[in-house]
């Protein structure tokens, strides 16, 4: 079957300061940007002392997302990527907000880790800014976090995400817009302390060119240029002029800086404290500004998924190799899963069917990585690694699903684990686990003989297997394994029958 590709693709970045959306035409694998929308929501300002996102901020955010949704709601599934960053990582009630936000947008929202955010930012910069530098240092100041990356071409080598952003630093040190020389120095020291453990990794001798990518850095660049303090990106001398000016003011209303957007004013000084601390700590003299950032990185990552260059597949292969898994065994299991899926139609949508097979294949590649820790209960070790590692390309929800499949591929089949999964996986994951369990079981003895063409029927709570006549008698160990599996599934209210 020939695969059709969408005419348009879109990406949405639900940042801690601003929400960004980009829409692009897609023709012959090439992109043309046709729409960009940005709204300052300041999601991070809505977090209380217990990291609950308050209702007023949620309503403001949802009003914005309703407008975004008008633009992309009717885009086909798989043509839109939406990610939440630091604030939605931290908010204890983020799931409540995400459910409403997904309804407003008409598409799934992925929560990504800070390291994944850094990777995507680098992709956005690498694909939008030409550079002759062998090694690039990229920095992005968000509302709740700041990312630092060193990379070459389109490959990031070192990535860090620190919990400080223009909104959080402004809220912490410059409440109600008040400024003082001593408080500004405290804000700079705070940022320097955050960055200190990574000073050697990102110091100027480790890279050839510094690049900034964020609204905060663009804003600082515009101000420096307009005030005549720099004519070549952001410079240390220009920042020193800006910092000296800030220290003469007692309130942000006194700044009176040319080209500073009034919407940016409440978080501007926090952003300056972070960039000034970064220049001082890492020995930076000059920084170029890039138009590309997280949302552009999302678009290019989406293209990889559409054109079978999914970063997640590369990640699972790398991880499997690192943990010395048996790839011959994994290949056998994947072939059996493919055979089962020709008989069991879990979904009508081809994109969803592709997702199902992808996650099953990734689970197969990684289900034995826990052997490197301990053979006893290895499935638990495997699941823990998958859930808690920084896996490039994977969202938190992706890792939660993959960890669940791996955790339940053997032994007790606990239905309670599926309740923690996002939709639509709560509905489909139990069947995916059963298919994975069966494929692993049929290859338990790791033999090289091909399995027979068996028949399988899988309904809501019943699994039927039919093997060629006398085959099970020929392989009594497989029969014994199926008998044990029957008991495991029975405890989970599934009936397994074989003949």
Per residue in 125-141, is it b (16+ CB within 10 Å) or e — as a string? bbbbbeeeeeebbbbbb
The DSSP code sequence of 256-289 is --TT--TTTHHHHHHHHHHHHHHHHHHT--EEEE
Q: How confident is the model at residue 30 (pLDDT cuts 50, 70, 90)?
A: confident
Within this chain, domains 8-112+296-301 and 129-290 share the same CATH topology = yes
pLDDT for 442 beyond 60: yes
CATH (one of 3.55.10.10, 3.30.930.10, 1.20.120.80, 3.30.420.40) for 8-112+296-301: 3.30.420.40
The pLDDT of residue 349 is 82
| CA angle, residues 64, 66, 69, in degrees to nearest 5 | 115
Report the percentage of the chain scoring pLDDT > 90. 85
Per residue in 230-267, is it b (16+ CB within 10 Å) or e — as a string? beebbbeebbeebbebbeebeebeebebeebeebbbbb
Residue ranges per structural domain of the chain: 8-112+296-301, 129-290, 310-498
Top-tier CATH class for 310-498: mainly alpha
> Cβ neighbours of residue 406 under 8 Å, at least 6 residues apart?
363, 366, 367, 379, 382, 383, 386
Render pLDDT for 481-493 as a digit per residue (tens, 0 to 9).
999 999 999 988 8
**One-letter-per-residue 3-state SS of 209-242:** EEEECCHHHHHHHHHHHHCCCCCCCEEHHHHHHH
pTM assigned to the model? 0.93
CATH (one of 3.30.420.150, 3.30.1370.60, 2.30.40.10, 3.40.50.300) for 129-290: 3.30.420.150
Residues 470-478 have a mean pLDDT of: 90
Closest alpha carbon to 341 in 329, 327, 358: 358
The rounded mean pLDDT for the chain is: 94
Q: Which helix (H) or strand (E) holds 171?
A: helix 166-173
Render pLDDT for 72-94 as a digit per residue (tens, 0 to 9).
999 998 899 999 999 999 999 99
> Cβ neighbours of residue 313 under 8 Å, at least 6 residues apart?
358, 362
Please list the alpha-helical segments (H only) found in 31-130.
55-72, 86-90, 94-105, 114-126
The pLDDT of residue 422 is 87
Render pLDDT for 376-393 as a digit per residue (tens, 0 to 9).
999 999 999 999 999 999
The pLDDT of residue 92 is 96
Residues 318-347 have a mean pLDDT of: 94
Distance between CA atoms of residues 246 and 224, nearest Å: 13
Residues 232-250 have a mean pLDDT of: 97
Distance between CA atoms of residues 5 and 307, nearest Å: 9
């Amino acid at each position: 079957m020939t695969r059709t590709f969408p005419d348009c693709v879109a990406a949405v970045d639900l940042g801690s300061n601003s929400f960004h959306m980009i829409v692009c035409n897609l023709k012959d694998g090439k992109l043309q940007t046709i729409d960009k929308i940005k709204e300052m929501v300041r999601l991070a300002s809505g977090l209380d002392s217990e990291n609950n996102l308050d209702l007023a901020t949620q309503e403001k955010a949802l009003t914005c997302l309703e407008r975004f949704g008008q633009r992309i709601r009717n885009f086909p599934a798989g043509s839109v990527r939406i990610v939440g960053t630091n604030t939605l990582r931290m908010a204890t009630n983020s799931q409540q907000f995400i459910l409403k936000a997904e309804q407003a947008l008409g598409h799934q929202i992925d929560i990504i880790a800070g390291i994944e955010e850094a990777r995507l930012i680098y992709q956005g910069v690498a694909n939008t800014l030409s550079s002759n530098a062998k090694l690039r240092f990229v920095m992005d100041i968000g509302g709740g976090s700041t990312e630092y990356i060193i990379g070459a071409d389109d490959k990031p080598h070192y990535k860090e995400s620190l919990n400080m952003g223009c909104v959080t630093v402004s809220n912490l040190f410059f409440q109600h817009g008040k400024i003082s020389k001593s408080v500004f120095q405290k804000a700079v020291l705070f940022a320097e302390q955050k960055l200190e453990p990574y000073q050697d990794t990102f110091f100027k001798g480790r890279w050839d060119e510094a690049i900034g990518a964020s609204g905060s850095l663009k804003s600082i660049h515009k101000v420096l240029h307009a005030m005549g303090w720099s004519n070549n990106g952001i410079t240390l001398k220009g920042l020193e002029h800006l910092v000296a000016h800030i220290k003469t003011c007692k309130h942000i209303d006194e700044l009176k800086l040319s080209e500073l957007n009034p919407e940016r004013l409440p978080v501007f000084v926090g952003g300056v404290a972070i960039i000034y601390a970064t220049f001082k700590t890492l020995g930076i003299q000059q920084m170029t500004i890039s138009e590309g950032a997280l949302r552009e990185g999302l678009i290019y990552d989406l293209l990889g998924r559409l054109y079978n260059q999914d970063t997640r597949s590369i990640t699972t292969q790398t991880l499997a190799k690192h943990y010395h898994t048996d790839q011959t065994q994994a290949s056998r299991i994947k072939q059996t899963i493919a055979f089962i899926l020709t008989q069991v139609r879990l979904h009508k949508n081809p994109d969803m069917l592709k997702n199902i097979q992808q996650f099953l294949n990734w689970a197969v590649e990684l289900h034995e990585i826990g052997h490197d820790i301990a053979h006893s209960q290895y499935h638990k070790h495997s699941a823990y690694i998958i859930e808690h590692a920084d896996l490039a390309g994977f969202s938190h929800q992706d890792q939660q699903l993959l960890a669940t499949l791996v955790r339940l591929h053997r032994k007790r089949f606990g239905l309670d684990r599926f309740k923690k999964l996002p939709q639509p996986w709560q509905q489909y994951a139990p069947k995916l686990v059963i298919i994975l369990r069966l494929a692993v079981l049929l290859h338990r003895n790791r033999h090289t003989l091909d399995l027979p063409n068996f028949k399988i029927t899988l309904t809501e709570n019943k699994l039927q297997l039919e093997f060629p006549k006398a085959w099970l008698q020929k392989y009594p160990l497989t029969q014994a394994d199926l008998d044990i599996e029957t008991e495991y599934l029975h405890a989970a209210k599934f009936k397994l029958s074989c003949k």
